[in-house]
Amino acid sequence: MSPTIDEIIDALSEPGSFGFQETVDLAVHEPGRLPDLIELAAQRLRRSSNAVNAVLALVPDEELGHIADASVAALRSGADPGDGQAARLIALLSLQAPRTLRPHLETLWDLAPNVRSYYSEWPWRGAGSGPEIDRLRSRLAVEDPETRLRAWTCLMESRTSDGWGAAIDAIGSIPHDDTWAIERFFSVGVELRQEGIRSLINEPPHHVLFQDGFLRPFRWVGIDGHIESPTWTTTGEVAGRGRFGGSIDSPCKVCGRPLCRLLTIDEGPSSIPGPTEFVTCLSCLVWSEGILYFAHGGGGISPAGPEVVPREPEWPADPFPEVPVTVVRSAPRWHCQDWGLSNSGENLNRLGGEPTWIQNPYFPTCPDCGERMPFTMQLDSLEIDGTPGWLWGSGGILYAFWCSRDSISATLCQWT
Ligand SMILES: [Zn+2]
Ligand SMILES: [Zn+2]
């Protein structure tokens, strides 16, 4: 007989992975009961459970409003706004369904869940324009500098022109200098310039899908079955096709080995400016050089950027195996993803949209024109089946940037 929701929550309250198997079984056999499990977890789990966090991804969009309501209700009745399950659900919903938090923004302002986390102001991604922005704007005038800063950050997170306008006007009134404020704007994908703002991202985001069996799915140790994030499946509209892996004829300027192909886009998506062929040197990036630049054009790809001292790589690496990939339009629920909140289970191989930063946002400058280079593509650590895995340092992500004017790409990594 399958356990009751209460019994699963009792198990999940224990330390370790008690209750994970029952949660996976429920997700596989009775997914319709997941909303009940999550709502009860919001009330009862004093520490958030990775199992509950993962199964939220399987709940249909139309049920998420109830989960937002239940999480806010749990916080109102005293759930821990720091580490509790309700607070974590608010963080996850601020990415997957910020609209569900819009009716609760005033309550969330007062209850301040996740206040010590980098994602504490993310619910204001759902602020929209109008009264929510006006309320934040009025808080920019209060005496307490921390309140002003919090309101300012919420305005920036709103990603609305009204919110950004108010935040830009108030830069002088927050308890930080202008450089700090300018860098904060990179975290929402824009560059603040004398003449206004310039976007450093291209919408809409897409996911890169590999063929079945190429990557090892993430599993919890000792648990049968796994929870597959919808970001790994072709639920979205197919927007393009391409290939992953292999190498090209051009040599790396550091080690002289053939450059490795990351991704070749054979078809679309035309909305995301970028090269048709993304390359880097797997032997030198991270280990010898922090950023590698490439010039695309004249029928080939060649190294670009500052002079380097040629040297042997410490860890020579072979190119990735070659496989076909599909590029799909990301479902709106997965337009913004966060590395820390992705639970190791989401597909973070993306084209366009906002980058999934691991460290502070960083957009390199083009070696030719000196302008910030917009983000175009990222590849997560790759657990390629039959290999030890490729980690971009250690649990890292590779990011690619593109200057359309000069046809120059840049690759760099962040890791933990
Ligand atoms: Zn190299
Ligand atoms: Zn340029």
pTM exceeding the 0.95 threshold for the entire prediction: yes
CA angle 341, 219, 334 (to 5 degrees): 35
Q: Using CA atoms, how far apart are residues 378 and 398, in angstroms rounded to an integer?
A: 5
399 within a domain of the structure (yes/no): yes
Find the mean pLDDT for residues 338-352: 95
Tell me: the pLDDT tens digits for 207-266? Answer: 999 999 999 989 999 999 989 999 998 667 899 999 999 999 999 999 999 999 999 999
Closest CA to 207 of 411, 377, 396: 377
CB 409 within 8 A of CB 278: yes
Is the Cβ–Cβ distance between 235 and 291 less than 8 Å?
no
Q: Are residues 269 and 327 located together in one domain of the fold?
A: yes
Question: Residues 105, 131: one domain?
Answer: no
Distance (Å) from CA 409 to ligand 2 centroid: 9
| CA dihedral of residues 324, 328, 334, 335 (deg, nearest 10) | 110
Same domain, 138 and 157: yes
Pairing state between β 323-329 and 238-244: antiparallel
Report CA(251)–ligand 1 centroid distance (Å).
8
- Cβ(51)–Cβ(23) below 8 Å: yes
**What pLDDT is recorded for position 130?**
87
Quick one: the chain helix, strand, coil %, rounded to 5?
A: 35, 20, 45
Give the ligand with the smallest distance to the CA of 407: 2
How remote is the CA of residue 312 from the centroid of ligand 1, in Å? 8
Residue 199 near residue 190 (C-beta atoms within 8 A): yes
Q: Hey, what are 94's tokens?
A: 């601020």
Do 192 and 276 have their domain in common? no
d(CA 383, CA 296): 29
3-state secondary structure of 280: strand
373 alpha carbon – ligand 2 mean position (Å): 7
Same domain, 175 and 307: no
- Among candidate residues 158, 174, 199, the one where a domain is terminated: 199
Q: What's the chain's length in residues?
A: 416
User: 137 and 86, same structural domain?
Assistant: no
Range of the domain at 162: 127-199
Q: How many helices (H) and strands (E) does the chain have?
A: 11, 14
Q: Residue 344: its pLDDT value, please?
A: 85
Q: Which amino acid is at 406?
A: D
For the chain, the domain total comes to: 3
Residues 107 and 21 in one domain: yes
Do 91 and 165 share a domain, yes or no?
no
Residues 194, 210: one domain?
no
Domain boundary among 61, 87, 114: 114
Is 120 part of a structural domain of the chain? no
Residue 5 in domain: yes
Cα of 368 from ligand 2 centre, angstroms: 5
pLDDT at site 235: 67
> How many CB atoms within 10 Å of residue 68?
25
Percent of the chain with pLDDT over 90: 91
pLDDT for 104: 98
* 232: DSSP letter: G
Q: Which of 172, 199, 226 is the last residue of a domain?
A: 199
